[in-house]
Amino acid sequence: MTAEVILLDFWPSMFGMRVRVALAEKGIEYEFREEDLRNKSPLLLEMNPVHKKIPVLIHNGKPVCESLVAVQYIDETWKDKAPLLPSDPYGKAQARFWADFIDKKPYELGKKFLWEKQGEEVEAAKKEFIDCLKLLEGELGNKPYFGGEIFGYLDIALITFYSWFYAYETFGNFSIEAECPKLIEWCKRCMEKETVSKSLPDQRKVHDVVTEYRKVLGVQ
């Protein structure tokens, strides 16, 4: 381990992407290490013995785990450039609340209709997933970014899901743009940022890997 900043990651992970975007926003040089999640490296198991999951940010040998914890760590450590969280306590609380919501609701619902067989539960999950996106669209309102004028923490938390939208739409059988046009506008605005476009994989590549995994699970 010689690089000062190392990121243990897995290219399709929307959680890993959050850390990539945060590092890019701060202009931090780092070493990206791809993990094979079917065969986790000794370094990953050593650095995240509790969850054994990516992303793990390793800064001067010390690990930081959980994507939203890592993004806040990056913001607080490299605080002289591109602030990610708002400065006022209420703004911070709002950003944290909605990022937490993303992980608890749409992410979990998305897992249901991607990885489980068709049925009532899956249909209900699809509907609730769209409702969650609409709530988020409401939170965005007419602002250019969730952070207001500036791309920030909550934008980072959500934009990485955009790389999974084509997979969600194909297997959910709905159009996110039809349901949440303002959200898609926001996605495209974010994708104009190099820090975002270079951190997110192509939607079709994610779709292909999801298709493969669905076959393995016997869902496809």
Partner 1 sequence: MGVKFGPVLYIVPGDICSSTCFLTFPGFLCPSISCVSVTVTMAEEVVLLDFWPSMFGMRARLALAEKGIQYEYKEEDLVGGKSQLLLKMNPVQKKIPVLIHNGIPVSESLIVVQYIDEAWSERYQLLPSDPYQRARARFWADFIDKKVWTSGHQVRSSKGAEQEAAKVEFMDSLKLLEGELGDKPYFGGQNFGFLDIAFIPFYGWFHTYETFGNFSIEASCPKLIAWAKRCMERESVLKTLPQQHKIYDFVLHVNKMFGLH
Q: Shortest approach of partner 1 to residue 89 CB, angstroms?
A: 4
Pick between residue 50 and residue 216 the one whose CB is nearest to partner 1.
50
Pick between residue 3 and residue 69 the one whose CB is nearest to partner 1.
69
Q: Shortest approach of partner 1 to residue 202 CB, angstroms?
A: 31
Rounded to whole angstroms, the Cα distance separating 96 from 86 reads 10
Pick between residue 101 and residue 166 the one whose CB is nearest to partner 1.
101
Pick between residue 71 and residue 159 the one whose CB is nearest to partner 1.
71
Q: Shortest approach of partner 1 to residue 124 CB, angstroms?
A: 18
Residue ranges that bind partner 1, judged by CB under 8 A: 50-51, 59, 62, 64-66, 69-70, 72-73, 76-77, 89-90, 92-93, 96-97, 100-101, 135
Rounded to whole angstroms, the Cα distance separating 80 from 78 reads 6
Beta bridge pairs of residue 189: none
Q: Shortest approach of partner 1 to residue 153 CB, angstroms?
A: 13
Gap between the terminal Cα atoms of the chain: 41
